[in-house]
A and B are shown apart, each in its own frame.
Chain A
Amino acid sequence: MTLSNELVLDASNISVQFGGLLAVNDVSFNIPKKSVVSLIGPNGAGKTTFFNVLTGLYKPSEGKVMFGDREITDLPPHKIASIGLARTFQNIRLFGLMTAEENLLVAMHSHLKSGIASTILRTPRQRKEEKEALDTAREILDFVGIGKWSSEYARNLSYGDQRRLEVARALALKPEILLLDEPTAGMNPQESAVFVDFVHRVRDARDVAILLIEHDMSVVMSVSERITVLDRGEKIAEGTPEEIRSNQRVIEAYLGKAASEGRGK
């Protein structure tokens, strides 16, 4: 499958410095429209730092991030989220004491308009807006397959359903890009396989581009159309799963030099 030339996100020459530590060093990275791309690398490679730059949690010391035609480098996280960059968390961060549908309604906050006065007075417009929002929320919950749990508290859902709810909550932002931070953490191989299909289904049905940070190589290889490898803050490789699988530097980064040489013989 060829990737679209149209980019939804283009981060160029990003560097992030924490005191004396250069966590990300001059990394350029883009996300083509409606693609599924992955960011991998050994622990401490700077994946999460890079991810946090995209979502606005960290400001890069150098470089800029373009979202379509708009520069988002210096926007606050909630702004970036509301214009179409939604994420999930590695260690599930749902609003546990809110119901599944309320979790989604929170994510719709920036798309809803009712203010204090109209909420107190329950104006017809406010009611209509709430009703439509609730319908959308239920529709998304149905889409990810947890529609029957819409009024259950998030903390009461099973682990797998909580993962789905996180994706649903991110989708409620109506994003153009969905960032998934180690979404298969804690899943067994069968669940991970189901997840791969799920990612493609989300991309096709919701018209989003998906960026994955993932440790599970079998998931990465089967789901991604393009893989970018970071090591010690630098981009060491980028390409299709086949290219990455045979890339010497990637093997070194993951297994160490000696091992890769041994394998070469």
Chain B
Amino acid sequence: MATRAARKAKKATRQPASHRTWALGYLALAAVMFVVYQYALPWEGLPLPIYDFLQLWLPPTAINEALVYVICALGLNIVVGYAGLLDLGYVAFWAIGGYCAGWFMSNFFEQWNFHGLASVPTTEPGLHINFWLVLVIGGAVCAFFGVVIGAPTLRLKSDYLALVTLGFGEIIPQIFFNGEDINGFNLSNGTKGITRLDPIPTGVKDLGPFDFGSKFVIFVLLAALMVFISLQLRRGRLGRAWLAIREDELAASMMGVPLMRTKLASYAVGAVAGGIGGVAFATHVDGVYAERFNFSISIFLLAMVVLGGMGNVWGVILGAFILAWVNSTGLPALGDTFNTEFGTDIDFPSFTFLLFGLVLILMILFKREGLIPESRLRMVLHEGDADEELKPAQEEKK
């Protein structure tokens, strides 16, 4: 019995049980989906209605795109959910990550020739670096820019911080948008974008743009990596400092927590996820296109974090998946079905933001803590009126 108790105590210092359950659930669901998409969908014997249903409501591209959103939303959650810093310019990191993939995995820079363990023959011009290394590079470059952007902006508080991050979120995509000719140097190919990326080497087989099943596995694992990083950091020295800053900045600094460094760390770690997501997205669409990195993505990601449950990785995954799916598939598919059924001609996807706005308002009114709330927040937000009544009494006592 004693050893059992000891083992239990040892376990308690690791991740709590609920996280392990969720992690297993996440991986099990991913495994089921992989089997469906890799084996059931291409199978000749699959009944046509099921095939049609899956292609209409759950096409593989939509799932993979949603996973990219999951990766980025998990990064934003570190900044917004953990450290409590409102960042409205997160798309900048997504763009930088995307361009890292564009620069280092294509023929774009014809003037240079470099091959780093790439999946293409060395006769190809341009910079060709192995996808896995590019993930690291994309993450590192974004972390660097996170610090560069964060150093001047993180001195600001709440609303001001949000406004300046919004500015950076606009500036960086604009640089890429207009980056065709910077003193004669073509940085980003402007509106034409950079297309045809190198396939992803896996040792067994190189994955092109249409290997949805295998890329699904890669994206699932990248998201899982972000979850792992989030949970580990959260339960350590840095995660506690983030939480303390979220709670009371002044008290945190008076307890020896360096505000700038701690905030910068959250910004940089969040940016790494943005970079990884950007690289993943570039391989998903087999290119980088400046016009895709617009402001609405920052808002979209923020909505995912809020809907899912700020500070809870599992909630954020759910929120990101739901919103990304509604955006890419749910609304268009619903529109098609509705229009054929009733003979109407309504443009459902144009109502996307109307719907999201409505969802956000309803969430704030009725379920402020999100779909799967962080346990700490649930406690506050659910006390509601009882807490309001208690407060004045406590004030008087002071």
Chain B binds chain A = yes
Contacts of A110 in B (CB 8 A): 256-258
Bound-complex Cα distance A169 to B254 (A): 11
Instruction: Determine which of A77, A91, A106 lies in contact with B241 in the assembled complex, contact meaning CB atoms within 8 Å.
Output: A106
Whether B232 and A105, one on each chain, are in contact in the complex, defined by CB atoms closer than 8 angstroms, is no
Contacts of A153 in B (CB 8 A): 376, 379
Contact with A along B246-265 (1 / 0, CB 8 A): 01101111111111000001
Known contacts: A87-B254, A107-B256. The answer to whether A130 contacts B236 by CB under 8 A is: yes
Whether A116 and B255, one on each chain, are in contact in the complex, defined by CB atoms closer than 8 angstroms, is no
Whether B233 and A169, one on each chain, are in contact in the complex, defined by CB atoms closer than 8 angstroms, is no
Name the CB-closest residue of B to A126.
B236
Contacts of A57 in B (CB 8 A): 254
Contacts of A78 in B (CB 8 A): 253-259
Whether B256 and A93, one on each chain, are in contact in the complex, defined by CB atoms closer than 8 angstroms, is no
Interface size class on chain B is 20 to 34
Query: A106-B244, A155-B380 known; 16 other A-B pairs, CB under 8 Å?
Result: A76-B253, A78-B256, A82-B256, A91-B398, A94-B251, A95-B248, A97-B379, A106-B240, A106-B241, A109-B237, A109-B241, A110-B256, A110-B257, A122-B232, A159-B394, A173-B255
Name the CB-closest residue of B to A122.
B232
Instruction: Determine which of B239, B247, B254, B397 lies in contact with A97 in the assembled complex, contact meaning CB atoms within 8 Å.
Output: B247
Bound-complex Cα distance A120 to B225 (A): 10
List the interface of chain B (C-beta within 8 A of A): 13, 228-229, 232-233, 236-241, 243-244, 247-248, 250-259, 265, 269, 376-377, 379-380, 394, 397-398
Contacts of B394 in A (CB 8 A): 159
Contacts of B229 in A (CB 8 A): 120
Instruction: Determine which of B228, B236, B251, B269 lies in contact with A93 in the assembled complex, contact meaning CB atoms within 8 Å.
Output: B251
Q: Tally A-B pairs: CB < 8 A.
A: 109
Known contacts: A107-B256, A131-B13, A159-B394. The answer to whether A112 contacts B237 by CB under 8 A is: yes
Bound-complex Cα distance A96 to B247 (A): 7
Known contacts: A97-B243, A97-B247, A122-B232. The answer to whether A106 contacts B255 by CB under 8 A is: yes
Instruction: Determine which of A109, A119, A130 lies in contact with B255 in the assembled complex, contact meaning CB atoms within 8 Å.
Output: A109
Q: Which A116-149 residues sit within 8 Å CB-CB of chain B?
A: 116, 119-122, 126-127, 130-131
A250 within 8 A of B: no
Name the CB-closest residue of B to A188.
B397
Whether A98 and B241, one on each chain, are in contact in the complex, defined by CB atoms closer than 8 angstroms, is no
Known contacts: A87-B254, A98-B240, A122-B232. The answer to whether A93 contacts B397 by CB under 8 A is: no
Whether B232 and A81, one on each chain, are in contact in the complex, defined by CB atoms closer than 8 angstroms, is no
Contacts of A105 in B (CB 8 A): 237, 240
Contacts of A255 in B (CB 8 A): none
Contacts of B265 in A (CB 8 A): 116
User: What is the minimal beta-carbon distance from B237 to any residue of chain A, in angstroms?
Assistant: 5
User: What is the minimal beta-carbon distance from A236 to any residue of chain B, in angstroms?
Assistant: 28
A102 within 8 A of B: yes
Of listed A79, A81, A94, A97, residue having the most chain B CB within 10 A: A97
Q: Which A148-184 residues sit within 8 Å CB-CB of chain B?
A: 153, 155, 159, 169-170, 173
Contacts of B243 in A (CB 8 A): 95, 97-98, 102, 106
Contacts of B257 in A (CB 8 A): 78, 106, 109-110
